[in-house]
Amino acid sequence: MIPIQVNRLQSLLLLFILAPFIVGISGCETNPATGENEFLLLSTEEQRQLGAEADAQIVAEFGEYNDDAIQSWVERIGKEVQAQSNDLNYRQGFPVASRRCRRRATTHALPTHSEFSIRR
């Protein structure tokens, strides 16, 4: 029997060949739009948890903006965007937060599946 010597370079090569396979198996989740397994760094549940934390932070930092006309407008646009999305389960709400320092608005899409429009 001939002894097989594995040098450091061969070990690294083997690691680089196997690592993507191992990582790919551990982080795969089915994409609802395509039905195919894809590699994700965070599971859907982890995304929702992070988004829930961000929701609370945005409300704490910016406050809520209570204007029915603005809220209706944001929801209408949000639903139009949602209709074009591959995953209709994500965007569940379109709250409007308030921060009065500049005259512009911006939108933040969060993995909780809500989008905040910040009225400034």
DSSP states along 2-25 = PPPP--HHHHHHHHHHHHHHHHHH
Distance CA 68, CA 90 (A): 23
pLDDT range class, residue 99, cuts 50, 70, 90: low
Distance CA 84, CA 82 (A): 5
- On whether the CB atoms of residues 117 and 107 are closer than 8 A, the answer is yes
State the pTM of this model: 0.52
Nearest to 112 by CA among 61, 31, 49, 33: 49
Q: Has residue 43 got a pLDDT over 80?
A: no
Tell me the average pLDDT of the chain. Answer: 71
Distance CA 118, CA 110 (A): 13
Q: Has residue 53 got a pLDDT over 80?
A: yes
Q: How far apart are the first and last CA of the chain?
A: 77
Amino acid found at 120 = R
Distance CA 80, CA 28 (A): 29
